[in-house]
Amino acid sequence: MKERFRALDPRLLWVLLALIALGTLTLYSAGRNTVQATIWLKQSVWNLLGLSLMLLLASMDPRRIFRYSFVAYLLGLAALAAVLVVGKKIGGSTRWFSIAGQTFQPSELMKWVTLLYLSQRLGSRNADTVGRLELVGAIGLVVFPMLLIERQPDLGMALSFLPILLIIPLMKGLRARWIVALVLLVLAGGFGAWKFALKPYQKQRVMIFLDPSSDLKKKGYQVNQSKIAIGSGGLIGKGFTSGSQTQLNFLPVKTTDFAFSVWAEERGFLGVLLALGLFGLLMSRILDAARAAHTNPEAYFCAGAAGIFGLHLLVNVGMVAGALPNKGMVLPFFSAGGSSTLSFFLALGLIMGILHRSRVK
């Protein structure tokens, strides 16, 4: 057992525990005086469960995990297809399996499984001999689950798959034409999505982002209330459990998408600096792991993971401040939710295992 704990990377662990502490305090304050008063306890259970799984994964040889990546990918696709058929419909979207009163969102885990499989597939090849056709195939492997998720519909989740594609410029040596090709792909995808795939509510979100004052009463209302919460927090914040926007329920969906606004209102700019600093440390430690990794698949996985964490941070924290569209992307360790929490911990477990192996040998 002691051996197992040695597998945990202390720097990553401390940052992680600090973020969990911040997130738990935030959820306690956000749930106060609402029907979700115990949400911080529920989330703590998920966190403990996640930490245990992380410990388990960290002490395993990463190569064993990579070996199952193809099977996991196929199972993941099957799950995404199945959820469209038998999934539980909540708020107009079919994203969840409902098992014994607990909902589980397969797309959360599928994001990491796709990253795992692509890292394994491309990492085991010689970068110089990889053909273009194969690279297009690799892109297809990422896009296919994205399309399935978009059917749910869950655009935010689908977009959070995009950092996985970073692996390709990474293995090809960050060449300019690959970057240009990627940007073109994103633009074309965005245009195609706007033209054919986007639902009216999604288009509305983009429009509100472009002009938030146009529809204060609907989606723009949420972002506007969030901006008021953050801005009125000022330098030092209004104090724990004393944020008027949070406590008087002006702030919407404050236990999930807008949890960070709660923290920003009650802890102020200094609290924001602390939280963003911790996220920065988290990501730079994951990038350390990418550099230190012994094998290409491990390095690619860590780089992609840093990208995914970075995207969640950028989109969520930027969105609640009104700087990015209201996409509904969760913030790790702040937003309540079982599936996403467990997925983040599983990924971190694998990263710790990679770090451990790089130190041991």
Partner 1 sequence: MTWSLVGLLVLIYARLQLVRHGELSEQALQQAVKVRPIPAPRGLVLDRNGNRLVDNRRALHLVIQREDLPTKPEVVASLAAALELDPAALTRKIQSYWQAGKGRPLVLKENLDEVGIALAERIRARFPFLSVEVAPRRVYLGDELAGHVLGYVGEVDEQMMKEKHDVFRLGETIGKEGFEASGNDKLKGVDGQKRILVDQLGTEVANFGQADAQTGRSLFLTLDAGLQKVAEDAMGQEAGAVVVLDLRDGGVLAMYSSPSYDPNLFLNRLSQDMVDRYLANNVTRPMVNRAIQGIYAPGSTFKLLIAIAALEKGVITPQTPIFCGGRKNFYGRDFRCDKPTGHGSLNMVQAIAQSCDVYFYELASRMDIDDIYATAEKYGLTERTGIDLPQEKRTRIPSREWKRKAVPRDPKWYAGETISVGIGQGAVGVTPLGLARFYALLATRGKMLTPHLFYGFRDDQTNALEPAAVPAFKDTPLDPKIWSVLAEGLHEVVQSGTAAANPFIREIAKEIPFAGKTGTAQVATFVDKAHYARQAKKLKDHALFAGYAPVDHPQIAFAVVVENAGFGSTAAAPVAAKLVKYWCVDRLTNPLPPPRGRMVDPFAPQQPQEPEASE
> Which residues contribute to the site for partner 1 (CB under 8 A)?
217, 227-235, 244-245, 248-250, 264, 268-269, 272-273, 276-277, 279-280, 283-284, 287, 306, 310, 313-314, 317-318, 321-323
Of 198 and 315, nearer to partner 1 (C-beta) is: 315
Of 23 and 338, nearer to partner 1 (C-beta) is: 23
Give the whole-angstrom CA distance, residue 104 versus residue 340.
9
Give the whole-angstrom CA distance, residue 252 versus residue 261.
10
Shortest distance in whole angstroms from residue 22 CB to partner 1: 15
Give the whole-angstrom CA distance, residue 120 versus residue 100.
34
Tokens standing for residue 303: 């780089």
Tokens standing for residue 305: 């993971």
Shortest distance in whole angstroms from residue 55 CB to partner 1: 25
Shortest distance in whole angstroms from residue 166 CB to partner 1: 11
Of 56 and 292, nearer to partner 1 (C-beta) is: 292
* Distance from the Cα of residue 204 to its chain's centroid: 23
| Nearest to 332, CA basis, from 45, 20, 17 | 20
Shortest distance in whole angstroms from residue 250 CB to partner 1: 5
Shortest distance in whole angstroms from residue 243 CB to partner 1: 9
Report yes or no: 23 and 334 within 8 Å, Cβ to Cβ: yes
Of 20 and 223, nearer to partner 1 (C-beta) is: 223
Neighbours of 45 (CB within 10 A): 11
Shortest distance in whole angstroms from residue 306 CB to partner 1: 7
Report yes or no: 266 and 92 within 8 Å, Cβ to Cβ: no
Phi/psi of residue 208, each to 5°?
A: -65, -35
Of 264 and 354, nearer to partner 1 (C-beta) is: 264
Shortest distance in whole angstroms from residue 41 CB to partner 1: 24
Q: Where are the beta strands (DSSP E) in the chain?
A: 88-90, 93-99, 102-104
Q: Which residues of 321-358 are buried (b: 16+ CB within 10 A; e: fewer)?
A: bbebbbbbbbbbbbbbbbbbbbbbbbbbbbbbbbbbbb
User: Is the backbone of residue 131 left (phi > 0), alpha (psi -120 to 50) or beta?
Assistant: beta
Three-state DSSP at 302 gives helix
Of 143 and 321, nearer to partner 1 (C-beta) is: 321
Shortest distance in whole angstroms from residue 147 CB to partner 1: 28
Give the whole-angstrom CA distance, residue 325 versus residue 323.
7
Of 109 and 299, nearer to partner 1 (C-beta) is: 299
Shortest distance in whole angstroms from residue 39 CB to partner 1: 18
Of 168 and 230, nearer to partner 1 (C-beta) is: 230
Of 154 and 265, nearer to partner 1 (C-beta) is: 265
Question: Cα-Cα-Cα-Cα dihedral of 187, 190, 196, 199, to 10°?
Answer: -170
